[in-house]
Every structure is written in C-alpha cells, then in structure tokens.
Amino acid sequence: MTFRSRMIFRLLWIVVVLQLCIIGTAALQCYNCINISDADECLSITECGTSQSCYMDTSGKTVTLGCTDNQQCGVSAGAAGSLVGRGVNKRQQTQCHECCSMDKCNKNLCSHLKPGTCIDDAKADCAWMNTFFNICQDIHHAKLVCPKFCALCSLVDGNWASWSPWSTCDVTCENGTQTRTRQCSDPPPANGGLDCIGTHTDIKACSKQLCPVHGGWTQWSSWDACSVTCGVGIERRHHNCSNPIPDRNGLQCFGDTLDDRICLPGPCANGGWTGWGQWNTCSVTCGDGIKSRSRTCTNPSPSPHGKYCKGDSIEVDSCRKIRCRPNIVFKAKGVTSTSPGDGGTIIFGSTFINEGNAYNTSTGIFTAPVNGTYSFSLQLCTNINNYFLTAIMIDGTTFATLYVYDKYVYSCNSTDTVAVLHEHSKVFVKCTAHCVNAVYQDGFHMNSFSGYLVHQ
C-alpha cells in the first residue's frame, strides 16, 4: 500500500468515527442500562466520573451500556495494524469495550441493530469502505456493521446454556469431587459463528465422613518347633488382625489366627520281629504234609517312617505221618507279573515243592488230581501307601479274599481256606481290584501260594 493510500485509509476511519460521535461541551453523560435486548430502548442517563468514557458491551442477546475506566484497550494510535487506536484485522480483548469520550456518544457509536436482523449499519457505506480494504475479512466486526453486504446473515455466535445440577459426590467417604456441565446450545454456533468461550465442565471438591478402616492380617510368623522329637507331631504359626487394626466400624479380618500342620521329625523306632510261634499241626493225617508257624512285626511296631521288618511272617516246613496215598502238596513263589490287571490271574513262576505236579507254573492254576479235602494258603506283598484286592478262586467261586494294604512300609498279608474238591477242580489266585503296579517283591518280601490234600 502506497503512502497516499495509507493516508486516505486513515482519513476514512476518522470520518467514520466522527460520524459516530457528537462533540459535547457539558460533563460527559452516557446511557446507562444493564442487560437489555435493544440499545435503542435505553433511556436512562448517567454522568461519568473523571478518567471514564462511555461504553457498550454485547453479551449473547443482551446489551449493557454505561461508564467505564479509560485506557483498557492497550492499542496505541499509529501502531502497526491499527487505525485511530483500534485494531483493523481483529477485535480487542474481552475487557476492551467500544468507548468514546464524547457526550452521549455511545448511543451513536454503539447503535447496532438487534442480533438476527440482517441490515447493514446505515452510517457505514460497506461497498465504499470495501474498495479501500476487505471489510468482510474480519468476520466478527463485519457482522455488526455490514452483515448483509458480507453475506453474514446466517452467522450465529454460540452461547452457553444453563449449568446442569451438580452431580453427587463421587465417593461415599472422605474427599471427592462433584461435576456439572453445560452445552454451547443457547444458541449453538452456526455458519462460522464463535464457539462459546470457556469450559463445558465445572468441578468442585466435596467431602464426606471419614472412611471406615477394614482390618488386615499381618504376615504369618515362622513355624514353631515340632511338638515331638520323633514320630508324628504338630507345628504351629500365627498372625493377627493389625495390618491395619479395624477402625470406624471397619470389617474384622476373616479367618483363623493360628495355622497347624503335621510334622515328622523322624522315626521313633523301626519294626522288630516277635519270636516264632508254635508250629501248627501237620497238615495231613497220613503221608507227607506241611506245618507252619508265624511271627509278627510288633516288637516293636514300626513308628511312622520307621522301617518294616524284613523277612517272612510265616515259616512253612514239611511234616510226615504215616505214609498214605496220594501225596499232593505244592508251594509256589515269585509272581511273574507285579501288574496282573483287574481280573487277571496272579501266576507264581516257581515252586519249592510240587508233589503230584498239580500246580502249573505257566498258568498259575492248581488242578485237583483226586477228590478230597484241600487246604490253600496265600501271601502277597504291596508297595508303601498302596493296596489291592485278591481272591482264591475254586471253579469260578470265591473261597477266600485278601486285602493287601499298608500306608507306611512295604507290607505282606496272608489268607487261607479249606475246600472239598472234585477231581479236575481248578484253583487259582485272581486279582480283583487296583491291580496295576500292585504287587511288590524283593529278597525280603516273598509272595507265595501253597496247597495240599488233607484227606480223601
């Protein structure tokens, strides 16, 4: 812009301002109204004090007129981008009101039409001013002077609606917050209008009564010493409800203050055999037979984790009376499979004696060669903390059952039966339940099956 153009530009605004102000000689008087809808309706006049000027402030759809202190705008005349103390390209800050020092001048200076009435200011030649600078560029000044010329009739500045009620406090005890909201909807901004200034959310602190303190457990103490030095005992630990201590109707801790468990510091004693008992009578009344005697592992009984006695609890020996015929007796030992399976036959793979060859070490079946009364004995051993069920079967009928079990040591259990057999009757040992990895045998634990003809 040339120097001449700048001079014409400044003269133009001087003429416009002079048209808007009437020079008075009396004390400065200004129209004085608060929150009215139309500046032309203000008829009240007030006299301004020293260092004050007239002003008008438009807020939403209302207008306030009166006196205000001077020098609020902060723009010096002749500064770059200004014209006669007013900015050309942007509006002043919110605290800077349109004002002048002429008597009653705010009536003419601020006589803008009501919002929504799309008529250009009669005192401004919008087209003529637009030949010197783009008056429509500053939309929010142009909407007050040249709304129709600048096609701003549909422009609407946003205005806040009323605040919502405060929300309830977001805590039930101690310190929290409450919020309220408002919407930029009274009216909402449209067609390039200003959005509402400020925040749509308001927050304030709120206080409730002090919260209850719920009780909490301390950490468990170390375990106390075992109540015994051998065998089975109890050891104990404790904690208490003091982390924190319940207060202000807080909940007590749930659970026990003490915790007990079994302790096993070591065996008090290993098992020991009693002496052998008396020999049983010979198993036959004639010919060769067997006799047995037994002992128990109770001298002393093994304590928990103590070792069971090694060896057999039953000892068998042969005996002879007057020779008779036939002589049928067997004693088989050593199972061929420690896991015969439920319903399977337990086969003893070798024999001490097998007079009459009635016991088959391949099938595990004793076949009676003659009619008569027979006696059978069975001993089986199992693993620690294991059990299984067996039976002596005669021609498909259970004649004796054996429950083999021990919780703490390798144990052997025995049973026997007597039966009247017909020639070709079949006798064998059947594993009936829990027969997987059930049988145990080593050099000290003998599994055996024996039988003999008592008499014909």
For residue 274, being part of any structural domain is answered with: no
pLDDT along the chain (456 residues), means of 10: 46 41 56 81 81 78 82 55 47 62 64 59 79 77 82 84 91 91 90 85 91 92 90 91 90 92 85 91 83 92 84 90 79 92 93 93 94 94 88 93 79 91 94 90 88 89
Residue at token pair 């202190």: 69
CATH number for the domain that contains residue 254 = 2.20.100.10
pLDDT of residue 103: 67
Domain boundary among 57, 84, 111: 111
Q: Which residues pair with 317 in a beta bridge?
A: 291
Q: Residue 127: phi, psi to the nearest 5? A: -65, -40
Going by the DSSP 8-state scheme, the letter that residue 187 receives in this structure is S
Decide if 277 contacts 314 (C-beta within 8 A).
Answer: no
pLDDT at 77: 45
CA dist 292 and 282 (Å) reads 8
Does a structural domain hold residue 119? Answer: no
Are 197 and 252 part of one and the same domain? no
Confirm whether 151 is domain-assigned: no
Write b or e for each residue in 69-107: b if 16 or more Cβ atoms lie within 10 A of its Cβ, otherwise e: eeeebebeeeeeebbeebbeeeeeeeebbbbbebbbbbb
Pair (294, 368) in one structural domain = yes
Last residue of a domain, one of 92, 111, 130: 111
Q: Read off the pTM.
A: 0.33
Query: Do 338 and 311 lie in a common domain?
Result: yes
> What is the Cα–Cα distance from 376 to 348, expressed in whole angstroms?
14
Instruction: Examine the domain organization and report whether 221 and 295 are in the same domain.
Output: no
Of the residues 58, 81, 111, which one is the last residue of a structural domain? 111
Q: Are residues 427 and 293 in the same domain?
A: yes
Residue 137 domain flag = no
Do 344 and 418 fall into the same domain? yes
Residues 410, 317 share a domain: yes
Task: Based on the fold, state whether residues 47 and 192 are members of the same structural domain.
Answer: no
Domain count, the chain: 4
Which residues pair with residue 176 across a beta bridge? Answer: 206
Q: Which of 3, 4, 6 is nearest to 133 (CA)?
A: 6
CA nearest neighbour of 210 among 247, 252, 251: 247
What burial class does residue 58 get, using C-beta atoms within 10 Å of its C-beta: 0-12 exposed, 13-18 middle, 19+ buried?
middle
The CATH number linked to 68 is 2.10.60.10
Instruction: Note down the domain range covering 255.
Output: 213-266
Residue 313 included in any domain:
yes
Residue matched to tokens 């609890």: 313
pLDDT of residue 256: 92
Q: How far is CA 419 from CA 247, 262, 392, in A?
A: 79, 48, 11
Same domain (yes/no): 293, 385? yes
Alpha-carbon span 197 to 219, nearest angstrom: 56
Per-residue model confidence (pLDDT) at position 172:
86
> 366 and 320 in one domain?
yes
pLDDT for 395 equals 93
Q: Are residues 324 and 408 in the same domain?
A: yes
Paired strand residues for 365: 360
Residue at 276 is within a domain = no
In a domain, 140, yes or no: no
What is the rounded (10 degree) CA torsion for 113, 116, 121, 125?
Answer: 180
Q: Please tell me whether residues 244 and 314 are part of one structural domain.
A: no
Q: Residue 273: inside a domain, yes or no?
A: no
